[in-house]
Structure 1
Amino acid sequence: MTRIAEALLAARGDVPFFAAVLAQGAGAMAAFGISFAAEYAFGKAPPLLLVLAAQGIAASLIGIRFGLARWWIPINLVLPPAAGVLLALPIPGWVYLVLSGVFALVFWNAGSNRVPLYLSSRRAKAELARLLPSGRARFLDLGSGLGGTVLALAAKRADGEFLGIESAPLPFALSWLRATFAGLPHARVMHGDFRNHHLGGYDVVYAFLSPAPMAELFRKARSEMSPGSLFVSNTFEVPGETPNQVVDLDDWRGGRLLIWRM
């Protein structure tokens, strides 16, 4: 099964969403196959919710074999039983359509770029503030989500320039509204992809993305950032690159700020 999946993934350009669909399909075949076998052997099928829970467990394990990132595990695990419960409730069909649209707008990057929505903790923001140089510091947040980091730092440093870039439509729209009405003219957010934004001229470039784009992003940072500036990754390492400094955030995720001086 793994070889078949690898071949299909190669044909599809290794899109994680497609791998998750494959994992759910394989999990459903396994769970419902066992259910049908149990009904044939004992004359009674297991409860549907139990079968869907088994599908989620199987899909999570298969997703690991398919090479999906760890954050797909809870999604694959919860999706089948949650869908079963929701479908059993007397909810109008348009509600599902709206929820699907909201989910797609929030996690726009998860399928193609393998970058889900992560929000920085208060401790991370405090440590980033300490990394800013004195004077007119310029800070860039790649994948700025709801804009919390940009606005928090701008509120502490009126003498700096703070920019966030977000490509998921709904987080960008919400962060743009927050920045517009925050009364912080030196804080901005813009819609875009980090691949298309030049990293030169910033004192600190911060990213809380996922393992997938880190190697590409670090190469871009090396080639574009000014000597002496700082590239900071929250939690996710750069393969083959040792940071100059590591700051433990002591949060429930076991997060760390990995800091490289360019």
Structure 2
Amino acid sequence: MKLSIGLKSLLLQLLSLGLTYLLLFAIQFFWGASLSIFLALFLHCCIASVAALVLRFDWWWGVIQFSFPLLVVFFYWQSLPSFVYLIGLLMLSLLYWSTYRTQVPYYPSKSTLIDPLLNLLPVAERFNFVDLGSGMGGLLLDLSKRNQLGQFSGVEIAPLPWLVSVTRALFYRSPVRFYFANYIDLDLSQFRIVFCYLSPAAMSELWAKVSTEMLPGSLFLSYEFVVPGVEPDLCIELAQDGSMLYGWRI
């Protein structure tokens, strides 16, 4: 049975905790010394983080593995009421939802993307544009206001961002459509331009879908993350922060 990345991460934390106890026991047995709780916690964080990188987890898992024990201890010392943790768990679940399975954390799009994307949109004919993983919807709402020829759509699998985006569209009376769905189930042939801001872990699988479903003459765009082994046709550097927008012509 193939384990999800979330379960692997949890197991890694438990194994790192066990290894930390073994090291503490060895230090006590051979040198008669003991570490403070703070040093022991730091040692555990380092072991978990290094182990994640050695096992070739994506780099952000190393950060998560290091930070998670620190946050657990910090909140434990705050003596917060139990319902606070329940509310926190609920909000994080609604925000990140299936990140453990898709390996695509919540990445809010940046305003610096607006102008480069507008320069790539048709200005003399109608077109369909979709944002895979549209988050809170800000990018699409801005694009829709500045290009009246496009039919803009967003697909989001996490309930909270999707609900926020739908509410914003209703409030601003925007024609943008937001769908609560997994982009894997979406037929990409209906869109002339497909944009995504996902993660390196998702790009190979998405490219297989893009190259199979998107029609000739369409454009696939990815912010920051490239398709492994596939040379992009467009590489646009965003002058404000040095990040990149990549494009592949189908």
TM-score (norm 2): 0.92
Give CA deviations for 1:110-169 in whole Å, capped at 9, x if unaligned: 201111111121122221111111132321000111112111111212332110000011
Quote the residue 1:86 is aligned against.
75
User: Where do 1:84-233 residues align within 5 Å?
Assistant: 84-134=73-123, 135-184=125-174, 186-233=175-222
Shift of 1:67: 2.4
- The correspondence for 2:36, drawn from 29, 44, 47, is 47
Q: Is the 8 A contact 1:49 1:84 kept in 2?
A: no
Quote the residue 2:55 is aligned against.
66
RMSD: 1.9
Quote the residue 1:243 is aligned against.
232
Cα distance in structure 1, aligned partners of 2:86 and 2:33: 35
Where does the alignment leave 5 or more consecutive residues of structure 1 unmatched?
Answer: 1-10
Cα distance in structure 2, aligned partners of 1:67 and 1:95: 34
Q: Which amino acid aligns with 1:96?
A: Y
Shift of 1:250: 4.7
Q: Is the 8 A contact 1:133 1:203 kept in 2?
A: no
Where does the alignment leave 5 or more consecutive residues of structure 2 unmatched?
Answer: none
Quote the residue 2:244 is aligned against.
256
Shift of 1:20: 0.9
Shift of 1:41: 5.8
Q: Is the 8 A contact 1:245 1:260 kept in 2?
A: yes
Cα distance in structure 2, aligned partners of 1:233 and 1:14: 28
Q: Is the 8 A contact 1:175 1:189 kept in 2?
A: yes
Q: State the number of aligned residues.
A: 249
The 3 A distance-change label for structure 1 pair 251 and 190 is same
Q: Is the 8 A contact 1:19 1:66 kept in 2?
A: no
The 3 A distance-change label for structure 1 pair 213 and 225 is same
Give CA deviations for 1:170-219 in whole Å, capped at 9, x if unaligned: 111111211221221x2111100111111123221001111222122112
Q: Is the 8 A contact 1:23 1:60 kept in 2?
A: no
Moved runs in structure 1, 4+ residues, more than 6 A? none
Q: Is the 8 A contact 1:19 1:63 kept in 2?
A: no
Shift of 1:79: 0.7
Q: Which amino acid aligns with 1:148?
A: G
TM-score (norm 1): 0.88
Cα distance in structure 1, aligned partners of 2:32 and 2:81: 35
Cα distance in structure 2, aligned partners of 1:182 and 1:35: 59
Cα distance in structure 1, aligned partners of 2:127 and 2:14: 50
